[in-house]
Amino acid sequence: MVVFAVVIITRPGRRTVVPLYQEAVQNWWHRLPLYHGPTGMNYLPHFAVLFGPFELVGRALGEIFWRAAAAGGLAAGLWLFCGERRGPDRMKTFVIVSAITLPLCLPALQCGQANAELGAALLLAAWCLRRQHWNTAVLLLWLATCIKPLGLAAIGLAWAAYPQLWWRLALGLPIFIGLPFLFAPPDYAWRQYLGAWENLRQCAEVTEHRFADLNGLLRTFGTALTGKASLVARALAGGALMLVCWRASRRELEPHRSLVWLGCAAGYLMLFNPMSEENSYVILAPVLGLMAWWAFYYGVRQSAWVFAAMVLSMGLLPELLRPLFGNHFALAWHPAMTIVLLIIVLWSACKPHDKILNEVGTESLTSAGTQS
């Protein structure tokens, strides 16, 4: 983050998307339209309100603080999960998990992409769900939706995995809807809502081969899902992952239950957001790193190596292979690895319950005996 700060100060405008956010805030303050097609701001009006404080401190400091907020949130989430192991082991675990997670996070942090904030919000929400801090978890889920409308899919899956959230989520809905009206005249806020809807519709119709969603993988092989086929695939996948989360709510132990939700949410967003980019996978990186830790902690070493290899390959290979494949390698590799993750999560959810308890319970008893 110190290196990024130096670059921001000495070479302003280099590899950054933050000026788009700053422009959106200026448009909001001057009551101008926020949306100008898929190449502009693609978030809800809430984002202009949320980014306002970063714009107030000036361009350079705003960019630095914005990135620092994302990095701090990601680090805090990993640290909290690594707290399952107390004492010196916590620091060791945190360093290892950070080391395998960070390469996939760096592109989003470098350019200041809002995906880094979204990934941090979802990671912290997962920890709050794991510790049954329901109110804070709901607050973070609605914050994620303010950052990007993709948070709505994560909310639906969270409701399936933790049904007790339903009334808290319901109470938050009118507050979320009314938030833009607290910071702008009603007619202007309503027009931006309508503009956001039209903008999202246009984003859903993007067909260029420059995104790393499911179609990014399919276009590599000369095909793609379009129109009704794309909508049906998204609906079926969303329904299937809701069933996985619902099943996890009845049989998975913590922290695996929260990681199942986070894996389903991140995996769905990566595969079925038609504008997923390479740097969007900062949302998926923490769950892969933490699943590697969870598998290693409970003695499932082969799974731990698989998860670690997946997240490291996604973080390192695109840059190493760029001379051969240009920017196209990640467009196929990242969604392919995401599909592998979801297959593993699905297999785990369908696994006989007594087998899971035997695996986890035996390892837990062994660890407890060793510590004793």
- Decide if 281 contacts 212 (C-beta within 8 A): yes
* 351-361 mean pLDDT: 49
Tokens 């303050």, located at residue: 29
Ranking 275-289, 316-330, 331-345 by mean pLDDT, the lowest is 316-330
The whole-model pTM stands at: 0.93
pLDDT at 181: 97
pLDDT at 32: 95
Q: How many domains does the chain have?
A: 1
Does the residue 248 lie in any domain? Answer: yes
Residue 145, both tokens: 């939706």
Identify the band that residue 259 occupies on the pLDDT scale cut at 50, 70 and 90: very high
> Over the stretch 52-111, which tens digit does the pLDDT of each residue have?
999 999 999 999 999 999 999 999 999 999 986 666 788 999 999 999 999 999 999 999
Cα–Cα distance for residue pair 284/266, rounded to 1 Å: 5
Does the residue 365 lie in any domain? Answer: no
pLDDT at 358: 46
Cα–Cα distance for residue pair 294/309, rounded to 1 Å: 15
Residue-range definition of the domain harbouring residue 98: 2-358
Does the residue 348 lie in any domain? Answer: yes
Does the residue 83 lie in any domain? Answer: yes
Does the residue 206 lie in any domain? Answer: yes
Residue-wise DSSP of 54-80: HHHT-HHHHHHHHHHHHHHHHHHHHHH
Ranking 2-6, 210-214, 228-232, 359-363 by mean pLDDT, the lowest is 359-363
Does the residue 372 lie in any domain? Answer: no
Ranking 11-20, 101-110, 188-197, 251-260 by mean pLDDT, the lowest is 251-260
Ranking 111-115, 224-228, 236-240, 337-341 by mean pLDDT, the lowest is 224-228
* 317-336 mean pLDDT: 92
Does the residue 368 lie in any domain? Answer: no
Distance of CA 367 to the CA centre of its chain: 32
H or E stretch including 253? Answer: none
Cα–Cα distance for residue pair 67/69, rounded to 1 Å: 5
> Over the stretch 169-218, which tens digit does the pLDDT of each residue have?
999 999 999 999 999 999 999 999 999 999 998 888 888 888 999 999 99
pLDDT at 43: 94
364, pLDDT greater than 60: no
Does the residue 370 lie in any domain? Answer: no
What is the identity of the amino acid at 152?
L
> Residue 32: how many CB atoms within 10 A of its CB?
12
- Decide if 277 contacts 68 (C-beta within 8 A): no
What is the identity of the amino acid at 121?
A
